[in-house]
A and B are shown apart, each in its own frame.
Chain A
Amino acid sequence: MDGIYLLQLLLNGLVIGVIYALIAMGLSLIFGLLGIVNFAHGEFYMLGAMLSFFAVTDLHFSYWTTILSVTLVASAAGLLFYHLFLSSLRQGDFERSILLTLGISMVLQNGGIFLWTVTPRIVPTPYSYAAVTFGELQIPVLRLFTLCIATAAFLALYVLLNRTLIGKAMRGLSHSRHAAAMVGIDHRRVARLAVMIGIALSGLAGATLAPVYSVQPTMGSAFVFKAFAIVIIGGLGNILGAALAAILLGIVESLIGGFLPLTLADAAGFVGMILVLLFKPEGLFGRGVRV
C-alpha cells in the first residue's frame, strides 16, 4: 500500500470536503432556523461564481477584493431573498417551501443560461497554476486558499453561534420556535439573519471556487444535491454536523475514486444519505432536528 498515495488522496479529500462544507453549512443553517429546504442554494453559489467572473474580467478586481465584494453582494441577495419569498412561508409549509425555492432555482438557472449561455468561462488569477508541495504531497495554491477561507468562515460562524447573543437566539430558535417566541426572540429578525449568512456562505463558495472550476450557469446543481445528502447525513439543523459530514464525504469520495472506478464515488453521497435515513435518522452526529 503506497503511503504517499494514500496521504495525497486524504489531502485531496479534505480539500474537496471543505468545499462541500462551505455550501452545506448555509443550507443547514437555513433549514435549521426556518425549516426550509432551499432548492435555490446552488444557484446562489453559481451567481457568486458568475459575479466573480465579471468582477475579475470587466472590473479588474483582484482575487481577494472579488471574494470580499461578492460575499457582501450575496448577503444582500440573501436579505432580498428572505423578504421577497421566504418571509411569507409558515412553519408547516414544507412542501410549499420546496416548490417555491425550486421555482426560484429554475428561474435563476435557466435565466443564467439564457443570458450567458452555457459556454464555460475561466476566471484568471495569478495563482491559477501554482501549487504548494510538502515533501511528496502537493496541493494547488488556490485550493489551499479555499481551505483557509472555509476554515475562517466556519470559525466565524462558530463564534457567532456560540459567543454572541444573536447566535444564542439562533440556536434557541432552531430548537423550538414556540419556546423562542415565549422568551421574546423575534423569529423574523433571527431568521432573516440566518438566511443572509446562509446565502453569503454560498456566494463566498462561488467566489472562492470560480477560479478553480469553469464557470457556467449549470454549475450549481451538481453541488446542491450533494449538499442535501450531506446535510441529512450530518443531521438537519446541525451545522457542525454538516461540516463534518461534508469533510467525511469528500474523503470517502476521494478514497473510493482512488482505488475503484471513479463513477462509484458519485453515488457515495446518496447511498450514504439513504442509509443514514434508514438507520440513524437524526444524523450521524445526532443533535439534529429529526426530519
Chain B
Amino acid sequence: MKRLMMAAVASALLAATAMAQPSPIRIGSTLPLTGNLAFFGQHSRWGTELAVAEANALGGVLGRQVEVDYQDNQCNPAVGVSSVTRMLSDKTEVALLDGVCSSVILAIMPVVQRAGVPLVVANGSATAIADASGVGGNKWTFKVNPSDASLVEALVGWLQQNGNADGIGFLGEDTDFGRAGMQAFEQALGRRGLKLASVDYYQQGTADFTTVLTKVRRANPKSLALYSVGADFQNLIRQYFGMGLTIPLTGRLLTDQIPPEILASGRLNGATAVQPYTAEIDLPANHAFIAAFQKMHGAPPNLLSYEAYETTRVLLDAISRSGIAQPGAIRDALQTTKLHSILGAEIEFDDHNLAHNNAVIVMVRDGKVQVVGLSKT
C-alpha cells in the first residue's frame, strides 16, 4: 500500500514538473557558416551563444529558456532568402538575428516584414539597411551596430584634432562595405572642407596587391585609410610591410588581424583605427565579457563576436520587457530599448531603428594597440 502511494506521489510530481516546464523561446539566426565569410559567421554565432548562455543561466527570459536555431546563408541572398523563409514557415521563431552580409540582410528584410517577425542586425554594415528601416520603411528591422558614416565621422574628428585629417588616401574592397567606407570618408572630410587624396578599390579575393600598392606609393598620400577584411587584409598588410611602405595607416584597420611580427616591428606605430569594438577597451564590463567569452569558446572575441553579443542582449532584453514573447510585442519593446552597453553608452533606437553605440579609436604605439578615444556615434 505504501509503495503504491509513493508511486502515485512520484508520478504526480513528475507530471507536475513536466507541466510546469514551459516551452523554450526560439530565436532564429542566419549566418554565413560556410563559404568565404565562415570565420565571421562563426564569431558572430559565438557572441550570440555567450549572451544566450548567460541569460539561460539566470533562469532564462520570462521564466523560459532561450534556444537559437543557426542556419547557413553562405553570404548568398538566394540561399539566405530560402533558408529564412524555411525557418519562419513553422512560425515558432519569435525573432531573427542578422545575416552578417548586407546583401543577404537586404534580401530578407521584405521576408521578415511579410512574416511579421523582428530582425535585429548585429554585423551587417550597409547604410541602406537603416535607410530602409523604421519610419517610412521596414518597421521590423533594427540595427544595433553603428553606421559606417558615424564611425568614420568619429575618426576624422579625432584625426583633425591631431592635425592628421589632410591628405588621406583610400584603399578598400569593392563591396558595399568598402564603398560605404569611401563615401563616409568623403562626407566626413567634406564637412571640414577637406578631400580624399586618392581612391582605389580592389576585388575581394585578390591575392596580389603589388600593383595597387605601387600605385599608392607613387601617389604618396599623407596617410592611407584601409577598408579591408579577412584573407585580403592579411595579404594586403603583409605585402605592404614587405614592400617597405611607411605611409601611416588608418580607417577600419583590423588591429587584431595584423600578424604579430609586423605589429612588434614598430613600423606601424602611429597607425590609427576606428571600430565598433576592440578588445583593448579598458572597462570592467568589457574585461568580464572577454573573460567569459574566452572561457566558453577558448578564443578571444573579435568585433563580430562583440556585436552579436551586444545585439543578442538587446533582443533578450526586449523579449523580457515585452512580457509575452510574441513577435509584435517584441517589436514594440525593441522600439523603447534603453540598454546600457558594455562600452558605456546607452543603446537606443532612433526613428530609423538605428542605435548609436560608442565607437572606439585605437592607435598603435610601441608595437602595441592602445585605446585613445571613445566617442558616441
Interface residues of A (CB under 8 A from B): 2, 5, 8-9, 12, 15-16, 113, 117-120, 122, 128-131, 138, 140, 142, 213-214, 216, 218-219, 222, 253-254, 257-258, 261-263, 265-266
18 sample A-B contacts, Cβ–Cβ < 8 Å, listed by A number: A9-B211, A16-B210, A118-B38, A122-B238, A140-B239, A140-B242, A214-B231, A214-B235, A218-B36, A254-B211, A257-B212, A257-B215, A258-B215, A261-B201, A262-B201, A262-B203, A262-B211, A263-B203
Chain A residues with Cβ under 8 A from B200's Cβ? 261-262
**CA–CA, A224 and B85, complex, Å:** 36
Which partner residue on chain B sits nearest A219 by CB separation?
Answer: B207
B344 in the interface (beta carbon within 8 A)? no
Chain A residues with Cβ under 8 A from B218's Cβ? 2, 5
Contact check, B231 vs A12: say whether CB atoms are below 8 A apart.
Answer: no
Contact check, A131 vs B210: say whether CB atoms are below 8 A apart.
Answer: no
**CA–CA, A257 and B202, complex, Å:** 10
**CA–CA, A16 and B207, complex, Å:** 11
Contact check, B39 vs A129: say whether CB atoms are below 8 A apart.
Answer: no
Which partner residue on chain B sits nearest A16 by CB separation?
Answer: B208
Contact of A258 with B214 at beta-carbon distance under 8 Å, contacts A120-B230, A222-B205, A263-B203 already known: yes
Chain A residues with Cβ under 8 A from B212's Cβ? 257, 262
Chain A residues with Cβ under 8 A from B235's Cβ? 120, 213-214
Contact check, B243 vs A131: say whether CB atoms are below 8 A apart.
Answer: yes
Contact of A117 (CB < 8 Å), options: B38, B243, B261: B38
Shortest Cβ-Cβ A-B pairs, 8 listed: A120-B231, A257-B211, A213-B207, A214-B231, A140-B242, A12-B210, A129-B242, A214-B234
| A124 → B minimal CB distance (Å) | 8
Contact check, B203 vs A266: say whether CB atoms are below 8 A apart.
Answer: yes
Q: Which of A9, A117, A120, A131: most chain B CB closer than 10 A?
A: A120
| B72 → A minimal CB distance (Å) | 13
Contact check, A9 vs B214: say whether CB atoms are below 8 A apart.
Answer: yes
Chain B residues with Cβ under 8 A from A258's Cβ? 211, 214-215
Chain A residues with Cβ under 8 A from B261's Cβ? 129
Which partner residue on chain B sits nearest A209 by CB separation?
Answer: B207
Contact check, A263 vs B208: say whether CB atoms are below 8 A apart.
Answer: no
Contact of A262 with B231 at beta-carbon distance under 8 Å, contacts A16-B208, A138-B243 already known: no
**CA–CA, A214 and B206, complex, Å:** 10
**CA–CA, A222 and B206, complex, Å:** 9
Contact check, B244 vs A131: say whether CB atoms are below 8 A apart.
Answer: yes
Contact check, B38 vs A265: say whether CB atoms are below 8 A apart.
Answer: no
| A114 → B minimal CB distance (Å) | 9
Contact check, A128 vs B35: say whether CB atoms are below 8 A apart.
Answer: no
Contact check, A140 vs B259: say whether CB atoms are below 8 A apart.
Answer: no
**CA–CA, A118 and B203, complex, Å:** 18
Interface residues of B in 10-54 (CB under 8 A from A): 34-36, 38-39
Contact of A128 with B211 at beta-carbon distance under 8 Å, contacts A119-B39, A214-B235 already known: no
Contact of A118 (CB < 8 Å), options: B36, B214, B259: B36
Chain A residues with Cβ under 8 A from B211's Cβ? 9, 12, 253-254, 257-258, 262, 265
**CA–CA, A122 and B258, complex, Å:** 11
Q: Which of A129, A222, A263: most chain B CB closer than 10 A?
A: A129
Which partner residue on chain A sits nearest B37 by CB separation?
Answer: A118
Contact check, B238 vs A128: say whether CB atoms are below 8 A apart.
Answer: yes
Chain B residues with Cβ under 8 A from A213's Cβ? 207-208, 235
Given known contacts A118-B36, A138-B243, A263-B202, what 12 new A-B pairs fall within 8 Å (CB)? A9-B211, A118-B39, A122-B238, A129-B242, A214-B207, A214-B238, A257-B212, A258-B214, A258-B215, A262-B211, A262-B212, A266-B203
Contact check, A120 vs B242: say whether CB atoms are below 8 A apart.
Answer: no
Contact check, B214 vs A122: say whether CB atoms are below 8 A apart.
Answer: no
Chain B residues with Cβ under 8 A from A216's Cβ? 231
| B320 → A minimal CB distance (Å) | 36
**CA–CA, A16 and B212, complex, Å:** 13
Contact of A122 with B259 at beta-carbon distance under 8 Å, contacts A138-B244, A257-B215 already known: yes
Which partner residue on chain A sits nearest B210 by CB separation?
Answer: A12
Chain A residues with Cβ under 8 A from B207's Cβ? 213-214, 219, 222
**CA–CA, A119 and B36, complex, Å:** 8
Contact check, A129 vs B241: say whether CB atoms are below 8 A apart.
Answer: yes
B174 in the interface (beta carbon within 8 A)? yes
Chain A residues with Cβ under 8 A from B262's Cβ? 129
**CA–CA, A170 and B236, complex, Å:** 42
Contact check, B243 vs A140: say whether CB atoms are below 8 A apart.
Answer: yes
**CA–CA, A102 and B259, complex, Å:** 35
Q: Which of A117, A213, A216: most chain B CB closer than 10 A?
A: A213
**CA–CA, A106 and B36, complex, Å:** 16
| A77 → B minimal CB distance (Å) | 23
